[in-house]
Each structure stands twice: as structure tokens, then as C-alpha cells.
A = this chain, B = another copy of it.
Amino acid sequence: MRLKRGSEYGIHGVLYLAMQPKDKTTLLNEVAEVLKIPKSYLSKIFQTYTKAGILKSFRGAKRGFALTRPPEKITLKELVESFEGKLLVEGCSLGRDDCPQNKHCSISKRLRKAQSAMDEVLEKTSLKDLMMNFKKI
């Protein structure tokens, strides 16, 4: 179970922003070049994060991207979910909404439990935690 490449690029990109001086805005171009990510693709990803309220973008003179919140208030969960979609699905985890078992299906129950175990770890991890032992590039 790998994350999508977009998640990878995105998380690295956001981490790069987090390591910049506070209140500085950074150009997409810089991030893309340093991290060797196709610029037009990273552009899409950052747009997604912007809509998700994780990044804010600026045009004009003081242009570029920056975090909307301090790193300790951005969780790995929201980063992952904004690209992968919700980890924890409602209803039948198997996608069979016409299942006779419906809500009471023991399979769905266990799968949901497994997913929420994963969810919890991601929720507890902040961008700051990730920065801690991430060497400066």
C-alpha cells in the first residue's frame, strides 16, 4: 500500500515550506526545482492543498506559497487525506451498499477498526514531528 506520487510530492513540498523562515513566501518554482518535482504537477498539488486550507497562495509582488498554520498544527492525516481521500469510509468498506448485512457486517466492522488504527497514528503526527529528524537538504 503505497501512497500516490502526488502525496509524496506534496508532503515533501509542504515540508520544504515548513522549513523556510516564518512568514516567508516561497515560489512554486523554487520548491519544484530543489525537490526535482515537475513544476506543472506540483502546481496542481499545491492548488489542492490551498483549497484544503493547508497552504495559502499569493500573487503579485509578494507571491508564492506558505503554510496557513504553524507546522505543529498541520497533521500528516490531512496531508494524506487531501490527496488520497478519506481513509475511513462510511458504510460498507467493501463498497457493497446493497449488502444484506448492511451496517452490521462483521467484515466492515473489522476493516473500519483497522483503518481507524492507522488514522490515529497519522492524526497524531504533525508536520513539526516530521521536521524534527529531517535533515536540511
Contact = CB atoms under 8 A, between A and B. Distances in A.
A105 to B, nearest CB: 7
Label chain A's interface by main secondary structure: helix
Count the copies.
2
Given A2-B89, A110-B125, A134 B101 contact: yes
Interface stretch (A7-15, A20-28, A56-64): A7-15
A90 to B, nearest CB: 11
Interface residues of A, number: 46
Interface of A: 1-3, 5, 7-8, 11-12, 15, 76, 84-89, 93-96, 100-101, 104-107, 110-111, 113-115, 117-122, 125, 129-135, 137
